[in-house]
Every structure is written in structure tokens, then in C-alpha cells.
Amino acid sequence: MNKRVMAAVLWPLGVLSLVAGVAAVGRTAPEPERPSVGPVMKPDTGAGEMLLVVLGGVFETREEAEAANASMSFGDVQGYYVVPVGQFQGFREQLPVSGEHGLVSVFRTEEGAQEFVALASAMGQPAQILPRRVRSLGGVYAGLGQEATPDGSGPLVAPIADSLP
């Protein structure tokens, strides 16, 4: 009799714990990756345009620059881009130290550059706007297009008067 009572109590308890366990595992399992997202923007190099550069550092080799960039945390948003110094005309002359690769993000508007400096400083990263605009010779993507249009309608994805040579 006792065994039957024990079995009657333990079986449902066992089944309930199993179901609870499965539910808990299923509920806490994270998605392996971020779900599908919006359109992939075309990398805009602004070739021929006069751009503002926010500089995060200068390094002799690409490897050093990549390592420094990887160590800088910008949370889950994009921070600096590694570019060769020769990618911009008038860039090398303004560097605070000599080197062949820089950590940069480039902008068409002063407001965009200032906003990125604010982002970098909020995250405790170095950032300085170079005093003079540089001419883009094309090359690798350096962050252009991640700023607002002056009229506030959306992202700035085309040249403006200040960026035209």
C-alpha cells in the first residue's frame, strides 16, 4: 500500500520536474546570433571629397593598428576603422606622430565629427578632430555615411557643399 502511495506521489512529481527542466532550458537558450537585420549599406569612400577626420591613433604597421583597434571598446556599435595614411591627401602632414596606419572615422559635417568624438570620449577612447579637411583618394572604407543630414531627415549619404573640393 505504502509503495503504491509513494509511486502515485513520486511519478507525477518526476514528470513535473522533467517538464519544468525542459521548459527552463528552452526558455534560457539564447539565439546564437542577432536575427536578420536591415539593408546592408554600400561602403561610401567619398573619393575626391574633402572630409573631416577623427583620429584615434597612429601606428607603424597594420597589425599594430588592428590590435589597438580591437582593444578599444565601443560597445556594440562600430568604432574606428584602420586605414593606410596614404589614403587621404593632406593626412600625413597633420599627424601628431609619424606612422603608416591610422585609426580613423571620417565625416562630411562638423556635427557628425563632434558627435563621434562625444561617443569616443563617453566610452573612454581617444579622439581628436584634425584641424584641416583631407581629400579622400578612395581606398578602404573609413566610416563615411554614419552622420545625420543637416536637415535631420536621415543619414548623410551624399556630398555636401563643405565636402566638395
Please pick, from the candidates 114, 141, 159, 162, the single residue that binds another protein as defined by CB under 8 A: 141
Please pick, from the candidates 119, 128, 135, 137, the single residue that binds another protein as defined by CB under 8 A: 119
Instruction: Classify 59 as helix, strand or coil.
Output: strand
CA-based R_g, the chain, Å: 26
Spell 132-161 as b/e; 16+ CB within 10 A means b.
ebbbbeeeeebbbbbbeeeeeeeebeebee
Stretch that binds another protein, among 8-16, 94-102, 116-124, 132-140 (CB under 8 A): 116-124
User: Under rule CB under 8 A, which residues in 22-41 are in contact with another protein?
Assistant: 30-41
| Window 63-102: contact mask with another protein (x via CB under 8 A) | ----------xxxxxxx-----------------------
Closest CA to 111 of 66, 160, 49: 160
Binding site for another protein (CB under 8 A): 30-43, 73-79, 112, 115, 119, 122-123, 141, 146-149, 152-156
